[in-house]
Amino acid sequence: MDTLGTGTVPDWSVIEGRRRHPWRWVSGVLGGLLLAGVSVVVGCRAADSDGVTPVPQALAFLPWLLVPGGAGLALGVLARWRTGMVWGVVVLAVTGWYTQPYGAAVTRPGGAILAEFQVLTSNTEFGWATDDLIATVKREKPDLVFVEECSFRCADALAAELPKADYPYRDVVREDGSAGSAILSRFPLRAVEPIESVMAMPGAVVTVGGRDVRIQLAHPSPPLPGDEGKWRQELGRVREFARTVKGQSVIVAGDFNASQDHALFRSVLDAGALHDSARLTGQSRAYSWPADRTTPLRTQIDHVLVSGDFKVSSARFLTLRGTDHRALLVRVGLYGG
C-alpha cells in the first residue's frame, strides 16, 4: 500500500541509515564546497585566465590550494561519496600539475661573454627599509639597482649615502609613499619614456660591454579585491612593453604584484621571450612576499626577467628589515651572438 501517495514504497532502511549518520551528509556538503572553490581557481589557471575577485588573489597562492583540495577529498571519503572522491583526486592532480615551474628550460646563449654583473631589485615599502637597502648595496655591490616604493626619505638617503663615484648614473622619480622609484647604475644610462602607471615605472638604456641593454622597472598596481582593473591595465602595459622590445637585450625587474600562476605575468614572459631568473636557478617557488609576518601563505611576486642572450648564474632572495618584500639579487652574464 502506498501510504505516502508517491506511488513507490520508501526504503526505510536508507532513511534510517541517514538518520543514524547525519555526519556523512555534512561531510559531503563541506567537501563539495571546498572542492568547488578550489575547482574555480584551478579551472581559471587551466583556462589561462585570472578571472575576477577572489580568483586573482587566490592564484597568487596556488600551491596552497592543495590543502583545501586534500580536505575536500578526505571529507568525500568520510561521507562515502564516490563522486566526491573522484572529484577530489582530479582536483589534486590538476593543482599539483600547475605547481610545476612555468617555462621551458633555457639553453646557454651562444657567442662570447661581453660582461658579467649583478642586478638587485627591492621594494622598500614606503621607504621604511631604506637603511637596510643601503647596507645591502654597500655589501653586495650590485651594478644595477631597482628600487620600488622609494619615498622622499629613500631618495634623499640614496643620494647622500651612495656616492656618485659608485653609482654615477641614476634615474630617480621623486614621489612620496609608494609612488616613488629609482634606478641606480654603474653603466652609462640613458633615460627613456616610462611606462604609465600609478606607481612610477621608469626605464632606461644602459651600455654594457659595448651593447645597449633596455632596462625597465616594473611596479604595477596590486590586484586589490574588487578593484583589479588597474592591475590588469598596468601589467598589460608591461606586457606591451615586452612585446615592443622583443629581440633586444632586455632586463625587467621589480615588484610585479603577480606570480607565475597569473596569466598576465605569463603573458609578459611570452610576449617578450623573457625568462624569470628565479625559475632558471631552480627557485620558482621561493617566496618574496609577505616577508614581515610568520605566515605559510607566501608567494613570489618580485622578479628579474632577462632576454635569451643572458645567462643567470645565481639568484638570491635577501631579507631587509622594514619591508614586507624580500630583495632579489641576481648575477647575470651578457653574451654576444
pTM for this model (two decimals):
0.91
CA distance linking residue 106 with residue 280, whole number of Å: 8
Largest CA distance in the chain: 100
DSSP states of 187-221: S-EEEEEEEP-SS-EEEEEEEETTEEEEEEEE-PP
Q: Are 126 and 149 in contact (CB under 8 A)?
A: yes
Which residues make beta-bridge pairs with 289? Answer: 299
Which strands sit side by side in the sheet containing 275-276, from one edge to the other?
189-195, 201-208, 211-218, 250-255, 302-306, 275-276
Q: Are 147 and 122 in contact (CB under 8 A)?
A: yes
CA dihedral 289, 291, 292, 298 (to 10 degrees): 60
Enclosing H/E stretch for 92: helix 82-98
Cα distance between residue 98 and residue 48, in whole Å = 11
Helices vs. strands in the chain: H and E counts, helices first:
10, 12
Position 108 scores a pLDDT of 74
Triad 314, 286, 220: Cα angle to 5°: 95
- Please tell me the predicted confidence (pLDDT) of residue 18: 47
Distance spanning both ends of the chain, measured CA to CA: 89
User: Rounded distance, CA 62 to CA 41, Å?
Assistant: 8
DSSP character string of 270-295 = HHHT-EEHHHHTT-TT---B--SS--
The grid coordinates of residue 326 equal: 624580500
Which residues in the chain show pLDDT less than 70? 1-20, 104-105
For residues 122 and 157, give the distance between their C-alpha atoms in angstroms, rounded to a whole number. Answer: 15
Predicted local distance difference test score (pLDDT) of residue 105: 67
CATH 3.40.30.10 fits domain 113-335: no
Q: For residue 72, what is the DSSP state? A: H
Q: Tell me the residue type at 228.
A: E
Q: Which residues pair with 213 in a beta bridge?
A: 206
Cβ atoms of 119 and 329 within 8 Å: the answer is: yes
Write down the domain spans for the chain.
12-98, 113-335
Tell me, what's the pLDDT at 8? 52
How many angstroms separate the CA atoms of 42 and 55, rounded?
9
Q: Which residues contact 160 (CB under 8 A, 6 or more apart)?
A: none
What pLDDT is stored for residue 24 in this prediction? Answer: 87
